[in-house]
Amino acid sequence: MVTIKDVAKKANVSIATVSAVINGNKFVSEELKKRVEAAIKDMGYRPNKLARSLKKKKTFLIGVIVTEITNPFYPLMLKGVEDIALANNYKIMLCTSGDRPEKEYELVQSIMDQGVDGIVLATVDKEDSKSIQYLKEHNIAHVLINRAPKEYEGNFVRINSYKVGEIATEYLIQNGHKDIAFIGGDRLNSWEREKGYRDTLLKYGITPKENLMIRSEYDTSVSYQDIQTFLDKHTDLPTAIFAASDVMAFGTIKALLDRGYDVPGDISVIGSDNITFSEDFRIPLTTVDAQAYEIGKKGCEMLIKLIKDKNKDKAEQHLLEPTLVIRESCKTLEVYDK
């Protein structure tokens, strides 16, 4: 990590001069100011204005960065973060990255400039994330929630997404379904749910069919269109569809109903996440609860522990277990006979 001392050495000035330039002291000569500013730029030094003024005192402010808030999964997760933060006299500063790595990186730096005590981060799915590297290099207390890169060795809490795929697929198979389609997106959680789906099919002697794999996005309108396209291309339809998120399941059901299919009479649909609207959707959705509130709650608890003990060596890593929530969107074709 670049320090003020490193900047002073490169600019060949005193630490006091660097500090004066950073704080906008008008008595510093223009020549010295340019030298210091050039050194700061070259070395990538980012002075933390609020942290300087507070002389390392706690601000009781936590930064929270999520990819989006339009997906109802995230407000539920944020409620968990907020409840724990408020119970411990912390306030939160919320930002959204739009699932863009560069924006996430900028937000991490901007939030740290505000003097937060630590960051709860629902990161983009990148193993070489600049954001995570920045947090590590600057020894900033942080916990990843909902997503964590493969082989990540730091603090995180998320759902066991592979198990989500297992539970959903096994439920369908045990209710007599064999032709089961999957609709998912380009995210780590979706990949893991698809892996659980594929492995469970094989476990029951069913070969996964590539023509039943539907690539989509975590967006109801996009999944609606992708299911419409799928229906246009297939006359021999599956008896069930497993969606990697409830948002995709909503788009799937709407597309099926608009094409005259009965759900679950003609095609069963099971989702993932158990977001707030799942129970009250036009057809109450059978889904797998991905513990959104608990992820947020646990993540904030972990962060506050880290803030209190930054020298904590052993990372905490929690994979929460999903649970099946049975409602009305799946039909039993026949009882599975082992």
In a domain, 98, yes or no: yes
Residues 150 and 297 in one domain: yes
142 phi and psi, to 5 degrees?
-155, 150
- Dump the DSSP string for 119-161: EEE---S-TT-HHHHHHHHTT--EEEES---TT--S-EEEE-H
What distance lies between CA 309 and its chain's CA centroid?
25
Task: Write down the pLDDT at residue 54.
Answer: 45
One domain, residues 285 and 299 = no
State the Rg of the chain over Cα.
25
Residues 271-297 have pLDDT tens digits of 999 999 999 999 999 999 999 999 999
More confident residue, 9 or 285: 285
Residues 35-78 have pLDDT tens digits of 988 998 888 887 765 445 444 578 899 999 999 998 899 999 99
Query: pLDDT class for 114, splitting at 50, 70, 90?
Result: confident
Domain count, the chain: 3
In this structure, are residues 116 and 63 in contact, taking their beta carbons and an 8 Å threshold? yes
What is the model's pLDDT at position 44? 84
Inside any domain, residue 52: no
Q: Are residues 73 and 183 in the same domain?
A: no
Distances (CA, A) of 80 to 158, 272, 295, 323, 324: 13, 19, 7, 18, 21
pLDDT of residue 127: 67
pLDDT in tens, 167-201: 999 999 999 999 999 999 998 899 999 999 999 99
Tell me: do 151 and 175 sit in the same domain: no
Q: How confident is the model at residue 311 (pLDDT cuts 50, 70, 90)?
A: low
Q: What share of the chain is helix, strand, coil (3-state, %, to 5)?
A: 45, 15, 40
Q: 286: Cβ–Cβ under 8 A, 6 or more apart, which residues?
A: 171, 268, 269, 270, 271, 324, 325, 326, 327, 328, 329, 330
HSE (side-chain half, CA atoms, 13 Å) at 197: 30
C-alpha 309/C-alpha 95 separation (Å) is 25
Q: Which domain holds residue 10?
A: 4-47
Q: What is the pLDDT of residues 116-134, one digit of tens each?
A: 999 999 987 666 688 988 8
CATH of the domain at 68: 3.40.50.2300
Rounded to whole angstroms, the Cα distance separating 195 from 193 reads 5
Q: Determine what percent of the chain is predicted with pLDDT higher than 70.
A: 92
Residues 169, 285: one domain?
yes
Highest-scoring range by mean pLDDT, 59-63, 120-124, 138-142, 221-225: 221-225
* Separation CA 137–CA 127 (nearest Å): 16
Calculate the CA dihedral of residues 69, 112, 58, 132 and round it to 10 degrees.
Answer: 80
- Nearby residues of 85 by Cβ (< 8 Å), 6 or more positions away: 62, 91, 92, 300, 304
Give every strand in the sheet of 286-289, ordered side by side. 213-215, 180-184, 240-243, 268-273, 286-289, 323-325
Q: Provide the pLDDT for residue 53.
A: 44
180 and 63 within one domain: no
Confidence of residue 162 (pLDDT cuts 50, 70, 90): very high
Tell me the two tokens of residue 196: 């659980």
pLDDT at 43: 86
Residues 6+ apart with CB under 8 A from 243: 182, 183, 184, 223, 249, 252, 269, 270, 271, 272
| 296 vs 86: CA distance, rounded Å | 13
Are 248 and 305 in the same domain? Answer: no
pTM of the entire predicted model: 0.82
Q: Starting from the edge strand earliest in sequence, which strands make up the sheet with 118-121, in order?
A: 91-96, 61-66, 118-121, 142-145, 156-159, 317-320
Domain assignment present for residue 190? The answer is: yes
Cis peptide before 238 (omega within 30 of 0): no
At residue 259, does pLDDT exceed 90? yes
227 and 302, same domain (yes or no): no
Identify whether 26 is part of a domain.
Answer: yes
pLDDT (average), residues 138-146: 91
**Does pLDDT of 265 surpass 60?**
yes
Task: Give me the mean pLDDT over the 257-273 stretch.
Answer: 98
Residue 240 pLDDT? 99
Residue found under tokens 């788009």: 251
